[in-house]
Structure 1
Amino acid sequence: MFGTLAEEKLRHEHEQQVELSRECHEGDLKEKYRLARVMEHKMELEEKVVSRQKAEYDRMRAERERKDLAKSSRHKKRKGT
């Protein structure tokens, strides 16, 4: 029916290891899901930042081109005079 005291001790230690392993695994899964949510938010934020940076870059490039065109136009008028 029951094993020896040494067998019972080994069985008890094994059960404790299994329970500890199960608890660690559960904690690891929770951390995995938390990190997955964080990653989703990170990607959304990154898309917003890149979009804003691109819009600012495009605006500055258009402004520079407008100034260059105006400068070029003034330069041509001076030569023609």
Structure 2
Amino acid sequence: MSDFEKDQFIYELQRSFRELQRRHGLLEFRLQQLEVRINRIAERTGIGEECTARKVAGLTDAQLRDWISVAEEHMSQSPRRN
């Protein structure tokens, strides 16, 4: 492998690494948004303690998404608390 090929390979690795860092940052941001959304739903619906208890109980991601859907549905059907 020539020096040019090595440099090119290293450049591509660095570029790929930067792209992975960027995607990881986006995923972290989306997870933070989801956490904020869950907290708001819990506060507005009054299910904060139950939601925390279920989280501690170890829900899977699918179960957590189902729980969020149920909470959002409940929130849309009940009057908003201010």
Which TM-score bucket, shorter chain as reference?
A: 0.5 to 0.7
**CA-atom RMSD, angstroms?**
1.7
TM-score (norm 2): 0.53
Unaligned 5+ segments in structure 2 are 48-80
Deviations 1:8-41 (A, max 9, x none): xxxxxxxxxxxxxxxxxxxxxxxxxx52111100
Moved over 6 A (4+): none
Q: Rg larger in 1 or in 2? A: 1
Counterpart in the other structure of 1:44: 11
Aligned residues: 48
TM-score (norm 1): 0.53
Higher relative contact order (CA 8 A, sep 6+): 2
Among all aligned residue pairs of Structure 1 and Structure 2, give the percentage whose two residues are the same amino acid. Answer: 0
Counterpart in the other structure of 2:29: 62
Q: 1 or 2, which has the higher helix percentage?
A: 1
